[in-house]
Structure 1
């Protein structure tokens, strides 16, 4: 149907709907209650962007103490060596609050694995950074039970990742009309489906509703889905960062170099588990990860944390599909692909 065939009342109705969608977006963002676990380098960037973005409330759960290396990448901490060994969050909260005093900002120095389910139930969304595999699976169990979306992110020097279990997400966006009209019920991929399509006469575009379904993170870590999505050439060009990052979930966090032979063994096992060609794991990447295993670099944190915060805002706005379900940042290749695992 073209615009000239519509009455003035019908056109006014469409204009009103567009304004209401914009108001609804702002309302969702400004009413969101967000939990950020760990004020790491990535966590610092996420907190900065969400506070500036104007979320309703944000709590930081972090039981760690200040270490000397924190000063290089966590800019909310005062430049004061005397606070080394003290709880981190109380020293950062004042500077964070200064970014936007309208955001309800709270700090919690409790231990993640000791927090009851009732604690997580008060939040609309959880973002956990630099957590162990045990912590990741434990918190995902709670968020799934409560139907709360979860982002997990971390850094390994020049590399990083974002994993998502957002349970189920519905988004609406305006798309140009293609050669073939979009049809409700069309599956874009195994976890993304077009559920509704409406023509917008004001813009001569289609308002498309897309539903994303997510898998639990435990299944994501052992997924065999990549070979079903990528051809052989694409599989051979995969970054070694994917299997190596996943293998580091089996290694205890340390600032010391990781034994390269151990890393090789774990990475090869991970590649085989994910049905990824073991040939993608190169000596160059093993050496880089061995030296940078759990290092935090400010420029990388800015890219990764900024991308995560942007996706959170997008998730809350319901205007576009969020990351589903694995983003890998490779600073050597300067790429940040998203895989559906």
Structure 2
């Protein structure tokens, strides 16, 4: 993935001064890519609000926000771009001036049409798409379009103290480096969806005895629909890892697989669905803790600001990573357990 007008276009002195701290973290090239990228964010709920804040402050070039919803009373506790006087107004109409004030250098577009009203051509002009709090049907359709146009996508949702991120970069090459050890890194497959395709060395500019390995990895991704249908951990976890596995994984996948019943599931029905998901994953149903099942059922679809902050920060940081092509990206399903604060990554 290459942003539309990225490249050699230099950052101005004002931009370098403004983004000095983050340039020190991820480099000038990554910042230039951020400035040139065109990103679509769908949904300005609690998660979308956090993602929006982070990418706007980071110096993104162009952000389009698509949201056709009205401000509700329950939004006020989890979304900081709106206030009590905005209830029953279009969310984007209420939030846009506050978003623009974050960073006037970012070109913003606010679209109050529904996602369903958009033709497939609408998505062609974006370098990256982020969808938040969408239905399984919407996520499947959106991911089909992003694959059609070879556009990376992040999908995220939350259920109270629990949340998930799905990533599909289709195929992505990244570079990272580390001090060269006694055992050099070899080319070849290193995990289900990742392989090392190139290894080269470089000497430290100040200390010629210090040698680094520059490692180029290639990451392959499944579509959202593929992931839902084929997610499996069979033969990949030892006893200790299985014991540490959170109930959040099978509960989240079960909910995504039973969209027609969302809002109608009681804890008994959700557990029945999650038991079937455990069978698909190849993990024992004893992973399901009844306390988690009850809490997950009660919090289905609830947006909780602290959880959104964690998920929004993680997505924004990974967006920066892939634009800079410096560190391996997330691949491909992440769940967040707000009780234990664990956030494991599952490579399906």
Q: TM-score normalised to the size of structure 2?
A: 0.87
Matched, 1:262 2:269: yes
Kindly indicate whether the alpha-carbon contact (under 8 Å) linking 1:29 and 1:316 is maintained by their aligned counterparts in 2.
yes
Select 1:55's aligned residue among 60, 66, 87: 60
Q: Distance in 2 between matches of 1:228 and 1:178?
A: 30
Matched, 1:338 2:321: no
Equivalences, count: 318
Q: Distance in 2 between matches of 1:322 and 1:135?
A: 24
Kindly indicate whether the alpha-carbon contact (under 8 Å) linking 1:257 and 1:290 is maintained by their aligned counterparts in 2.
no
Matched, 1:26 2:31: yes
**Distance of aligned partners of 1:309 and 1:224 in 2 relative to their CA distance in 1, 3 Å threshold:** closer
Select 1:198's aligned residue among 200, 224, 230: 200
Q: Distance in 2 between matches of 1:248 and 1:52?
A: 33
Kindly indicate whether the alpha-carbon contact (under 8 Å) linking 1:78 and 1:92 is maintained by their aligned counterparts in 2.
no
Determine helix, strand or coil for the equivalent of 1:102.
coil
The aligned residue for residue 227 of structure 2 is 220
Matched, 1:148 2:155: no
Measured on the aligned residues, the alpha-carbon RMSD in Å equals: 1.8
The aligned residue for residue 313 of structure 2 is 306
Deviations 1:274-332 (A, max 9, x none): 22221111110011111111111111111111111111111111101111001110011
Q: Distance in 2 between matches of 1:306 and 1:25?
A: 17
Spell out structure 1 runs of 4+ moving beyond 6 A.
none
Q: Distance in 2 between matches of 1:160 and 1:224?
A: 17
Q: Distance in 1 between matches of 2:34 and 2:87?
A: 35
Select 1:210's aligned residue among 211, 214, 217: 217
Determine helix, strand or coil for the equivalent of 1:107.
strand
The aligned residue for residue 187 of structure 1 is 189
Select 1:122's aligned residue among 120, 125, 128: 125
The aligned residue for residue 3 of structure 1 is none
Matched, 1:70 2:75: yes
The aligned residue for residue 172 of structure 1 is 175
Shift in Å at residue 67 of structure 1? 1.1
Q: Distance in 1 between matches of 2:217 and 2:251?
A: 32
The aligned residue for residue 46 of structure 1 is 51
Determine helix, strand or coil for the equivalent of 1:98.
helix
**Distance of aligned partners of 1:25 and 1:147 in 2 relative to their CA distance in 1, 3 Å threshold:** same
In the alignment, structure 1 segments of 5+ residues that lack a partner are 1-18
Shift in Å at residue 253 of structure 1? 8.8
Matched, 1:159 2:162: yes
Shift in Å at residue 183 of structure 1? 2.4
Shift in Å at residue 231 of structure 1? 1.8
Deviations 1:178-231 (A, max 9, x none): 2211123x2111211111111111252111111111011111112243123212
Matched, 1:138 2:141: yes
Deviations 1:126-174 (A, max 9, x none): 0000000000000000000100001000111111110111111111112
Shift in Å at residue 113 of structure 1? 2.5
Determine helix, strand or coil for the equivalent of 1:126.
strand
More off after superposition, 294-303 vs 45-54 = 294-303
Determine helix, strand or coil for the equivalent of 2:235.
helix
**Distance of aligned partners of 1:236 and 1:227 in 2 relative to their CA distance in 1, 3 Å threshold:** farther
Kindly indicate whether the alpha-carbon contact (under 8 Å) linking 1:37 and 1:129 is maintained by their aligned counterparts in 2.
yes
More off after superposition, 127-136 vs 269-278 = 269-278
Q: TM-score normalised to the size of structure 1?
A: 0.89
Q: Distance in 2 between matches of 1:38 and 1:336?
A: 23
Kindly indicate whether the alpha-carbon contact (under 8 Å) linking 2:43 and 2:67 is maintained by their aligned counterparts in 1.
yes
